[in-house]
Amino acid sequence: MTTSEPSLPRENFLNCDYSIRSWLLTTDHKRIGLLFLVSITLFFVLGSAYAGLIRTELLTPRGDVVSPQNYNKLFTMHGLIMVFFFLIPSIPAVLGNFLIPMMIGARDVAFPRLNLASWYVFSIGGVFTIITAVSGGVDTGWTFYTPYSSIYSNTSVMTMAVGVFITGFSSIFTGLNFIVTIHKMRAQGLTWFRLPLFVWAIYATSIIMVLGTPVIAITLSLVGLERLFHIGIFDPALGGDPLLFQHLFWFYSHPAVYIMILPSMGVVSEIIACFSRNRIFGYKVVAFSSLAIAVVGFLVWGHHMFVSGQSAFAGLIFSFLSFLVAIPSAIKVFNWTATLYKGSISYDTPMLYALGFIGLFTIGGLTGLFLATMGMDVHVHDTYFVIAHFHYIMVGGAIMGFMGGMHFWWPKITGRCYPESWGKLSALVIFIGFNLTFFPQFILGYLGMPRRYHTYPAEFQVLNVMSSAGASILGVGYMLPVFYLFWSLRNGPIASANPWLAKGLEWLTPSPPPTDNFEQTPVVTEEAYAYRPEETASG
Amino acid sequence: MDESHAIVAHQFDDAGQQRESALLGMWVFLATEIMFFGGLFAGYTAYRFQYAEGFAAASHHLDMLLGAINTAVLLTSSLTMALAVHSAQVGKKPAHIVGWLILTMLFGCAFLGIKVIEYHDKFVHHLVPGASFAWEGALARQAQMFYYLYFAMTGLHAIHMLAGVAVVLVIAIQAARGRYTPQYHNPLEITGLYWHFVDIVWIFLFPLLYLIA
């Protein structure tokens, strides 16, 4: 990493005002992004603690750490917190907020106050979650399946449902803001096909946020009515159908997986291009594949219900559509690989994360095809095979992308470089820990170990111990960046405006950027990723 | 925002960009609203097919006349709303804009008042789902499902009406202060969009709930 002469930056968005009030009332998209970073980091720690307890319980075949009901609460709270309070807001609300206006050469998002409201709404939802956790948690599974959630569970279902409901609006506000910002506030000369692919990915994500989130909001409201007043449309005793709940729930919650993975794909596109000094191979196809994932992703929800009593014909259609959504995902993987070809590759920390993403996402995606196959799904449904599959997507994919992006843009955000060797070490530890945690779970699931049980037959112990050991390595891997990134805030070398020599408007402005982002509004005259200007003329 | 002249917020380059952003933002929000109502419409569709007979029988107990009057009231309120926006666009005096907005609110309140009469009638006749629900004859469960959806859908709609009236009140106060000119009336215009959307939702609810045979 090249650094400029160490000179303390002049006035920027971080040092313009140090008061707490200036942070809590800020409408600066960069500060709001950092508010989100603090919030979601806290929830990540909380969600990880639940995961740690789960893996501790599963060290032995007997249930000797927690009671069965408490175990149910552990995996429920782990899922709810990680999905709704970490993964969904992670890249969009942190890196998206910070970067989207800068990448398109704008001073801020279209609706800065709505942006701040989004953080407050998130925080209120978060408070409900904390109250739920303190009052004993929820045991329905993160999926809130009826009639268990609406009639039988005697845990704090309503508090948690209200928390998820409220947080949903945070997602909607963020998505709405990005859509309008990307449409209306691009700098002069920045046409759609000159946009960085991160912007395309966030745009596609925003569409899902805006169209999907309201459906889970109304669904949870109906669960609430059923639970509080014993009236509703999901309870068979009232003439309702629990399967309808599953349809409505997964109509949001499957696309929600793409809310988690698409932004990571955007980050990986930026990193791969920068660290192979190449244009992204097939830029337009990669851009449109994000939109294709968003659109087709809305049509695959039924693959969660192959064994729920859905008709076989519906299952067949959903199986086919689920295979279809693999195509744009595969296109991305192939095109990133093609981008590496004949590139000048350097293995800095962000690149290690991006390469890790490609490998792990490929495994997660391919095992998704196993699950989209109806016959295979009947065999491994609700087993650890499913757990391993979606953790390869959500942790191996989404979080690797988030970590890669945090390292890539850390100098831009803070004006300081992190210690590169520690960065590489943590990327390696996370990669090893992750695989040791979740690869054995594929085998466990295939052998028939069901999810959501706190005991298991003795012959599964070796693999479970491997998984728990991996989880502790993974935990160390995640703790390292917290320490050295924090350390770098004061002690890291001062970063230049463009330490990676990367392309993109955000690198034209000083690190950290001034409050209005650019001293002069940029005018764009070239396509994205013009790392080799002599070649782009023909392309 | 500095109220005297800086109508264009700092993040925008000019008033045109600001107006387009405001309009697009509201359209995107309305897309969200469609999906929000969409969950209930999906539930309605599922049970309408499953319980066709019970739904038809239950629907007969709704007051078609009151429903029709309410439809007319709401359509008229959309007209007055459109006239309020138009008045701002052509630069009429604030009193004009405020007048149309007050009429819009009155129609909105009239709609809600008639809705209260209808709800009260259902309450008296034990047609509110729950323990007190009473239904003569067969298909009681189907009828209860219909009334559940009736209350959920019209209730959600009524909440949107309430919010609409409140927002129009705020906009009317701003208009009275002379805040809206032909150059700048974005809040008024997007409130109009919202009002028309809530109107259109009712246009779907009325036949789906009142007019099934």
For residue B203, give the CATH number of its domain. Answer: 1.20.120.80
Give the nearest partner residue to B142 out of A111, A239, A516, using CB atoms. Answer: A239
In a domain, B142, yes or no: yes
Contacting residues of A for B148, CB less than 8 Å apart: 231-233, 238
Give me the residue label for tokens 């064994």.
A307
Q: Cα(first)–Cα(last) distance of chain B, in Å?
A: 55
pLDDT tens profile A362-394: 999 999 999 999 999 999 999 999 999 999 999
Exposure class string for A388-421: b at 16+ Cβ within 10 A, else e = bbbbbbbbbbbbbbbbbbbbbbbbbbbbbbbbee
> Does B21 sit within 8 Å of A111, measured CB to CB?
yes
Residues A343-357: what's their mean pLDDT?
97
Give me the residue label for tokens 């398109």.
A104
> Does A229 sit within 8 Å of B130, measured CB to CB?
yes
Contacting residues of B for A245, CB less than 8 Å apart: none
Q: How far is B62 from chain A (nearest CA, A)?
A: 20
Q: How far is B130 from chain A (nearest CA, A)?
A: 6
Tell me if A384 sits within 8 A of A445, measured CB to CB: yes
**CA dihedral for A346, A347, A353, A357, sign (positive or negative):** positive
By a Cβ cutoff of 8 Å, what residues of chain A touch chain B?
A: 101, 106-112, 172, 176-177, 179-180, 183-185, 210-215, 217-219, 222, 225, 229-233, 238-241, 244, 247-248, 516, 521
* Phi, psi for B204 (deg, rounded to 5): -80, -40
Residue A416, pLDDT > 80, answer yes
> Does B152 sit within 8 Å of A225, measured CB to CB?
yes
Tell me if B88 sits within 8 A of B185, measured CB to CB: yes
What is the distance between the alpha carbons of residues B45 and B146, in angstroms, rounded to a whole number? Answer: 11
> Around Cβ B53, how many Cβ atoms within 10 Å?
11
Which of A28, A97, A184, A252 has the highest number of chain B CBs within 10 A, making it the mutation to test binding with B?
Answer: A184
pLDDT band (50, 70, 90) for residue A16: confident
> Does A180 sit within 8 Å of B24, measured CB to CB?
yes
Give the nearest partner residue to A238 out of B21, B25, B144, using CB atoms. Answer: B144
> Does A210 sit within 8 Å of B31, measured CB to CB?
yes
Residue A319 sits at the vertex; the CA angle it makes with A314 and A325, to the nearest 5 degrees, is 125
Q: Give the structural domain span for B107.
A: 26-210
A-B Cβ pairs (cutoff 8 Å, strict): 102
What is the distance between the alpha carbons of residues A478 and A535, in angstroms, rounded to a whole number? Answer: 40
Q: Cα(first)–Cα(last) distance of chain A, in Å?
A: 29
> Does A107 sit within 8 Å of B10, measured CB to CB?
yes
Nearest to A161 by CA among A238, A218, A87, A89: A218
> Does A231 sit within 8 Å of B130, measured CB to CB?
yes
Domain boundaries, chain A: 20-536
Q: How far is A108 from chain B (nearest CA, A)?
A: 5
Give the nearest partner residue to B24 out of A184, A211, A218, using CB atoms. Answer: A184
Q: For chain A, how big is the Rg over CA atoms in Å?
A: 23
* Mean pLDDT for back-to-back runs of 10 residues, chain B (213 residues): 60 94 98 97 96 94 96 98 97 95 98 97 94 89 95 98 98 96 95 98 97 87
Give the nearest partner residue to B148 out of A217, A233, A521, using CB atoms. Answer: A233
Residue A163 parent element (H or E): helix A157-184
Nearest to A82 by CA among A478, A453, A465: A478
CB under 8 Å to A24, separation ≥6 — which residues? Answer: none
> Does A183 sit within 8 Å of B35, measured CB to CB?
no
Q: Provide the pLDDT for residue B3.
A: 43
Question: What value does the mean pLDDT of chain A take?
Answer: 95
- 3 state DSSP class of A139: coil
* Phi, psi for A383 (deg, rounded to 5): -110, 180
Q: How far is B39 from chain A (nearest CA, A)?
A: 6
What is the distance between the alpha carbons of residues A300 and A232, in angstroms, rounded to a whole number? Answer: 26
Nearest CA in chain A to B16: A184
In a domain, B158, yes or no: yes
In a domain, B95, yes or no: yes
Contacting residues of A for B131, CB less than 8 Å apart: 230
Q: What percent of chain A has pLDDT over 90?
A: 93
What is the distance between the alpha carbons of residues A527 and B115, in angstroms, rounded to a whole number? Answer: 57
Q: How far is A359 from chain B (nearest CA, A)?
A: 35
Q: Provide the pLDDT for residue A538.
A: 46
Please return the burial class of A516, using the count of CB atoms within 10 Å of its CB with bins 0-12, 13-18 and 19+.
middle
Q: Provide the pLDDT for residue A6.
A: 53
pLDDT band (50, 70, 90) for residue A8: low
> Does A244 sit within 8 Å of B43, measured CB to CB?
yes
Please give the CATH topology (third level) of the domain spanning A20-536: Cytochrome C Oxidase; Chain A (1.20.210)
Q: Does the ipTM exceed 0.90?
A: yes
pLDDT tens profile A250-267: 999 999 999 999 999 999
Tell me whether the omega of the peptide bond preceding residue A512 falls within 30 degrees of 0, making it cis. yes
Q: For chain B, how big is the Rg over CA atoms in Å?
A: 20
Q: How far is A519 from chain B (nearest CA, A)?
A: 14
Q: Provide the pLDDT for residue B2.
A: 39
A111-115, A200-204, A473-477, B140-144: range with lowest mean pLDDT: B140-144
pLDDT tens profile A52-80: 999 999 999 999 999 999 999 999 999 99
Which of B35, B36, B50, B132 has the highest number of chain A CBs within 10 A, making it the mutation to test binding with A?
Answer: B35
* Phi, psi for A494 (deg, rounded to 5): -70, 135
Q: Provide the pLDDT for residue A4.
A: 46
> Does B129 sit within 8 Å of A231, measured CB to CB?
yes
> Does B148 sit within 8 Å of A231, measured CB to CB?
yes
Secondary structure string (H, E, C) spanning B91-153? CCCHHHHHHHHHHHHHHHHHHHHHHHHHHHHHHHCCCCCCCCCCCCCCCHHHHHHHHHHHHHH
Domain count across chain B: 1
> Does A219 sit within 8 Å of B33, measured CB to CB?
no
Nearest CA in chain B to A521: B13
